[in-house]
């Protein structure tokens, strides 16, 4: 199953692959070079297909838990001052996604979308300390009556050139459902209440829509 954000790119990739095979057959006479080029093109096609995959996840709805919004590796767990929305200290948990990870962004918790803003910016590597403030990004705040307000930030990486955000102010977020997509390498930051019980560790691999990041 593929994400809708990839349909156009996947179609174009299949067309380019087909044309490339025809051109190679016609103009490349050396057999080993012909096969090498064809294998290389197929590898690129497979990489594109796996990048836009959208596997189903079994989310167990729980208003007392924050789940990972994306697949990836936990790279930050620390207390920070969140200055865009809360303007106070929060617990930050960041998940880095490599190009081979699923790049669907899912709502980490159910509730009302209170804030949603897009910021144009740079394309520093996603793990750069200033990426959260200087890269292209979106900031979304969901209010859950049980857990409280949760802010998550989609951050573009060095390869990512487009962030897709479905969350709009006034929307009803449902935990685990599609909230957006980031194309080609990126990171998502979560900003949680200070009394949250963190359930993950640094360098732990997490699965979006299923892995519990924190509990109230």
Q: Under DSSP, is residue 45 helix (H, G, I), strand (E, B) or coil? A: helix
- The 3-class SS string of 145-165 reads CCCEEEEEEEEECCCCCCEEE
Determine the Cα–Cα distance for residues 146 and 109; give it in Å rounded to an integer: 10
The catalytic residue among 68, 94, 110, 186 is: 186
Catalytic-residue membership of 20: no
State the alpha helices, DSSP H only, in the chain: 7-27, 31-51, 131-134
Instruction: Report the alpha-carbon distance of residue 185 to residue 102 in Å, rounded.
Output: 10
Which of 106, 117, 118, 194 lies closest to 149 in space, CA to CA? 194
For residues 165 and 188, the answer to whether their CB atoms sit within 8 Å is no
Alpha-carbon span 185 to 103, nearest angstrom: 8
Q: Which residues are catalytic?
A: 186
């Amino acid at each position: 199953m593929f994400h809708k954000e990839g349909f156009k790119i996947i179609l174009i990739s299949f067309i380019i692959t087909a044309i490339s095979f025809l051109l190679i057959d016609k103009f490349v006479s050396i057999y080993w070079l012909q096969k090498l080029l064809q294998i290389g093109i197929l590898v690129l096609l497979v990489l594109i297909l796996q990048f836009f995959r959208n596997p189903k996840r079994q989310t167990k709805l729980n208003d007392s838990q924050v789940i990972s919004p994306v697949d990836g590796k936990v790279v930050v767990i620390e207390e920070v001052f969140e200055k865009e929305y809360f303007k106070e200290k929060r617990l930050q948990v960041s998940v880095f996604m490599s190009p081979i990870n699923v790049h669907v962004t899912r709502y980490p918790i159910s509730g009302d979308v209170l804030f949603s803003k897009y910021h144009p910016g740079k394309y520093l590597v996603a793990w750069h300390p200033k990426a959260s403030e200087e890269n292209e990004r979106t900031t979304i705040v969901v209010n859950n009556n049980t857990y409280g307000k949760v802010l998550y930030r989609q951050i573009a990486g060095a390869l990512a050139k487009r962030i897709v955000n479905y969350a709009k102010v006034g929307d009803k977020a449902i935990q685990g459902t599609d909230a957006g997509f980031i194309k080609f390498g990126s990171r998502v930051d979560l900003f949680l209440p200070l009394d949250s019980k963190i359930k993950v560790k640094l360098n732990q691999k997490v699965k979006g829509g299923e892995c519990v990041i924190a509990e109230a």
